[in-house]
Amino acid sequence: MRSCFSVLLAGAIAATFAATVMPAGAASEKAAGAYPLDCAKWKDKARCAALNQDLQACKDKTDDEWRECMHQPAPTAKFTPPKPRDCGKARDKERCEAHTRALEACKDKFTRAEHRRCLAGQLQEPAPKQN
């Protein structure tokens, strides 16, 4: 009974590996580098195009050379910072004015992540007042 189970298990494992083996010609064709990305589905088209260019330029390299070749900063989409609000209609005028000052201080940031980090640094909540 036990030997029958081992033979069955070995047969199942062999069948699994036999089904996943590719012909030698197909393996060499598929293994040659990464495939280009479909930029139609990306929000940041400039980043996708830059990655495709890097993939094309690095296609002949392997391992550490490929990683080094691909590790380049990619351009990001243009970011337009938000416009300041009208603080005359705000419920909390101090907070609105602080936000406006922070927007003014961070207007030179070119990426969304840099802008958010700058705003977070500018809008540090003051310690609560003690009576």
What is the tens place of the pLDDT at every residue in 15-38? 566 555 555 544 444 445 567 888
Which helix (H) or strand (E) covers residue 50, if one does?
helix 45-57
The domains of the chain are located at 35-77, 87-122
Looking only at Cα atoms, what is the longest distance across the chain?
A: 86
Q: What is the pTM of this model?
A: 0.40
Whole-number Å distance between alpha carbons of 114 and 70: 23
Q: What is the pLDDT of residue 127?
A: 46
What are the tokens at 29? 């064709």
Q: What is the pLDDT of residue 27?
A: 44
Count of alpha carbons within 13 angstroms of residue 19, beta-carbon side: 6
